[in-house]
Amino acid sequence: MSPHFWNPSPFPFSRGNKREEQYVRKIIFMKSNVEPFPYYRRLSFCPTKNLKYLKKLNAFVGLFPKSYTNEYLYHPDIYQIEEDIEVKIHIPVMGKILPKPQVIPWGIKRVGADKVWSNAQGKGVRVAVIDTGISFDHPDLEKNIRGGVNILSPILPPYDHNGHGTHIAGTIGAVNNTIGVVGVAPQVSLHAVKAFNKDGTAKLSDIIKGIDWCIDHNMDIINMSFGFNEPSPTFREAIKRAQEAGIIMVAASGNKGTRGRLEYPAQFGETIAVSSINEENKISKFSTIGGAVDLAAPGEKIISTWMNNSYRELSGTSMAVAHVTGVSALMLSKFPNLSTRDLITFMKQTAIPLEDASFYSQGFGVVNASVLRNSYR
């Protein structure tokens, strides 16, 4: 049956019913090559709340009556329907507050970023940080902030009231000035995509909305310093469609210190999965490892920007992800015409293997920016 002639009102009760109803958030992905209007018209007969269409993902997110099972919402043009889940950022134990005279953190030196700033600093590369927001008035960040979105409250700026997103942003692209720290790519364009609240918690649907925003605004790289254990077909579809749009996605392996399955989205083959190392070139004890790991990067005792114009030392695979994101920006600024696939392959081929670590824990090795010293366009 043609979707244009699909029964428009198959739902168990109408808008006029006074029955008290509980609501649940659902994520509905249309097939990528179909028009959304016929299904949107069908949804107009359903008492939804906060229904939003994500045009780049061809998906709907909204609150639906709990009694409306997926069978009620099914349509031939639907690819996947899924209930929302909660995602929480791992907030590591915070280290000392640091003084303001500028230092180059050990992780920046370990990936060789400081050796290539005369050739590449990430200028013109658009990096989205899907996180708790960014403290965009921080003196070490404000020159590199180029915009963003507050998924939770679209009328408000994506300001960080947690600290995690600001810390990640500093490692990626803190400005090379006379104070605080300097990031891997000190001239990168940072975009704050605030999907996590001040407690470090997000709805998966809000993360998916953030990915849709990134595609729509032509981001080059997405930093995903978060993870969760539940497989999600709709999230996988969002990741696949972002990859098709040419976006590099970098994700954390996890902080459970286990061997086996990585957290999502690092488990997905479309992302660069990152584990953590310490200053002794050892895989961090907290780092989740497994066959899906692609690269390793510094993740212990990482100094970076924090709220209230300050600086903090944190540890976690979140911090390792930020180093790989920064190196990706350096390489993309050096080779802007390189395809996403070729750039990722180049990063893996030029990584430096750890002598006493298996492929299972480090992938191809520690991400290495210093190769750009001898690279020419």
- Annotated catalytic residues are 131, 164, 318
Whether omega for the bond prior to residue 265 falls within 30 degrees of 0, making it cis, is: yes
Cβ atoms 174, 309 nearer than 8 A = no
Cβ atoms 87, 232 nearer than 8 A = no
> How far is residue 215's CA from residue 51's CA, in Å, rounded to a whole number?
20
Instruction: Retrieve residue 72's tokens.
Output: 């009620």
Taking the mean position of all CA atoms in its chain, how far away is CA 181? Answer: 23
339 burial level (CB within 10 Å; 0-12, 13-18, 19+): exposed
**Angle, CA of 43, 46 and 49, to the nearest 5°:** 90
> How far is residue 285's CA from residue 299's CA, in Å, rounded to a whole number?
11
C-beta atoms surrounding 97 within 10 Å: 11
Closest CA to 288 of 263, 268, 258: 258
> In 3-state terms, what secondary structure has residue 113?
helix
In residues, how long is the chain? 377
> How far is residue 69's CA from residue 83's CA, in Å, rounded to a whole number?
10
Closest CA to 117 of 315, 377, 373: 373
C-beta atoms surrounding 150 within 10 Å: 16
Residue 109 neighbours by CB under 8 Å, 6+ apart: none
Instruction: Retrieve residue 53's tokens.
Output: 């269409």
> How far is residue 31's CA from residue 110's CA, in Å, rounded to a whole number?
44
The count of C-alpha atoms lying within 13 angstroms of the C-alpha of 314, restricted to the half-sphere facing its C-beta, is 25
